[in-house]
Structure 1
Amino acid sequence: MGFIFVVDTSLTMGLQLDGQPSCSVEDSRYGVASRIACGLIQRAKKMVPEPRISLYRSGDKVEKLTTEVESAAAAQKMLTNGVRLFGESHTGALLDRLATDLSPTPDDHIIVLTDATSYDGDVNFFAPCECRFVIVNTTKNGMDPTQIEELEEVSAESCGYEVGEDYEDYYHLFYMSHDTSEESIVDAVAEEMFVVPVYSLSIGNLTATITTSPPIWEDRPFEIEAIGFCKSTNLQNIPVASNHFVLLENKRREIDVPMEEEENSQSGDSDRSRRGGQHILQLVAEAMKAEGMTATVRFGSGRFGILSTYSEASSGLLLSLLPAPALLPAYVPNFNVLTVIPHQNDQYEDLVVKECDEPASHLANLHSWINSSGIQNDLGKILRYFRKLPDRVDQFYLELNRVRFYAAVIGCQQILQELAKMMREESVQLNEQVRRHTQHVLPFLDLDITQGNPIKDIPILH
């Protein structure tokens, strides 16, 4: 299997995506197309087995840059080397020569990045493999409707379909405009055209082969293992890098089923394993929902995630990938160190993280720290210790740091600002040591609390 990327140099003509004149190749639509192509190449190189990747540039001729792309950075350099702004406009010639100049095989996939601004004559073109187009233009109003129709016809025929509403999901064009991000186009093309990574999900004695939507391209977590369960509220505010619906492997894309298979499926002779696997995942989701639990999972790569219930997913499960351990904020504990402790009502055992410097709020087991008066009670406790300083100074700093880090979790910097205001106003009526502690603490309440360290007592006062 191979992927053939073609970038049309007509994209150097004229404008940036926001409609303003471009002053360099990098700022032009050609630069955008090159970055999209490189993003797709980076994703393709993570497939297993790694496909053959070829790179072409099309202008007055089809120029083969390489048939063995080493990296996305190398591809970017080859695409932009020697290209001039306002250089060439030969969009029509591109289509007439793809089938002969690119020499694709039935196992290849062609991805063309062009602007669809002009084309003279009919397209006499047939690709023996899937051919899809990414249209990089300012707005759809700036495109030639005749060429759009031609590109749709080429794309549909290459996928074995006729142009029509029933099949347009399999051959549609991808549009990159001023209000679309490059990353979203890369995600959309990769999800439709690349072989989606397949993972083995292990939960106790259950093992299911799954995919996710959108796929997880950043890593290769081929094995996903549930390492424990905990109450949903204990992880409700944990930072998440990305969310992914859990899908059974062969349920990712619904494709027309031949008549014989459809009849067998209706009689129960076919597709039984798929329905059985889906049923098991749904049972897991229902059990987790009933118990109010989420599963902490570890990927084969060493990263961690959270498996939770989600009604919009067909399996009922949502996989949330956490940032890499080195990128996690300071308040997130080490998931490599786990233990089990009794739950408050002694009816459950709850998986928690040992050696967590900052425990959750004393009301965090309720549904919401905000909606259950957790803020009011916690701030009241801090102020009571504050008024008694220098007595109970350790408890004051313990509670202050706990609430400070919990506020960071839910992104409520304004809570700390209000606390600082109350401390500043009350300290005027209190003793000198309280005022010194106030001056010591206030600057910390204005810092970036997601990366801050715990506030320590003033040593000179002891």
Structure 2
Amino acid sequence: MAFSSLYEEKCPFTRDYNLIKGELKNIDDYDKTCIETALHGVNQMVLSEWGNNTACQIILVTDGSTGVGPMSLKESLATANQRSAKIPFPVPFSFPAKLHIICLTTASDPCFIKSKPLYQRLIDMTGYDGTISVQDTFSNEASVTSMFQKLAEEIYSTFKGTLKCGNLESKIILSPAPVPYTKVTDFDSQTYNLWDVLDVCGFVSVGDVGSPMAISRHLILPATSSSNKTEHVVKNEVDITDDDVMDDSKTPSFCVLLHGALRVENMAALVTVGENWFGFIYSWADSKKKSNLMLTILSPGSDAVPWLGDLNYLGSSDSFSSDQVGSFPVRPTEKRSYSQNGVVWIRQAGLQSDIQKILRHARKLPEKTQQFYKELNRLRKAAISLGFLDLLNGLAYIFEQECMQLPGTAHPDCALQLQHAADVLRKTQNRDIKYVIIPLQTNYTSS
């Protein structure tokens, strides 16, 4: 992304390094430096591509200047707390992110010395540890390359582990490297770390897996050890147009075998990634001809996918007879409550609807006596629990108005019940939430 007073997306997220190199050669100079504009653009790009759960590394490359005037970083930080809710300050980001700032200047540059506290404040606002990189001496191509190489070694460390299924296993690399996940509850927080061994528990149809909530997604690359014990990444892409997923000239790899099997069978592998922590491995196509093996890490817990039930209790269908094998989605063990006793008064129409329902029953008294008092007590209980006591007085007034407007053909019990309900609603001693209004016993209803 290139930025000035506006930002421009030079190329989308891609693993085509040649495309990135080509765009880097086509970056032009524009009107001014506005770092806030760039950060807004980063928010939009990451949210649209990865969502708000994927951790990202953001690298800001600058000449050490923070801009001048109203759009400078100094002015942006000074007014960060004065923004509207519709257009807030972009930092902290809407997703977990570390901000790394590379200044293509020297540490003794007066402009950098003045800008460094502003850069550090911006990093602190992200909520994560970032870095500021600058050269000690005059910059040249070799020193700039060395600075970027050092940053890459620090923040882009690879995750090396083992993918295992029974007696088969394969050394793998996850990209990007997963980070520890902290689950925060009302009274506690717990940090989960990924195991080095990802163990395949079983296989589930991709259609049954659906799209569960995930905390991160990673590309799985097989890694083999050569005689000098250095890690080499094996190409893990599968040509969709070719049924032969492995070439005889390639080293046999369980990772590649699993990839081809999942692609052909349209299945996903359920794996354990930590203590009571699961994920799914599946084949994902990023083009018409190539597919890749991906790992989706679920939120910690065995109930991360509600329609699959408790993941600890999933078993092989071969162990049961056909009449014992259930289907997804799994029905919950507890019976759900679909009672309509609750009220929703977020909007005015909700309250009006509840009042009109009571009045409809009131006009059909005494036939609807039970329904009238049931709805009246439901509304009264909700009003008291919310502290909406004016509603009770208003409802009593409405009942009295209804009494005055009753036609001559109305049943005598209708007026008596409405007046009785109005009197009870107005009595302050009946404001206990456990109190229940009961029908007035009359000569018309006793029989």
Same fold, judged at TM 0.5 (above): no
Provide TM-score, normalisation by structure 2.
Answer: 0.38
Q: Using CA pairs below 8 Å that are at least 6 residues apart, which structure has the higher relative contact order?
A: 1
Provide TM-score, normalisation by structure 1.
Answer: 0.37
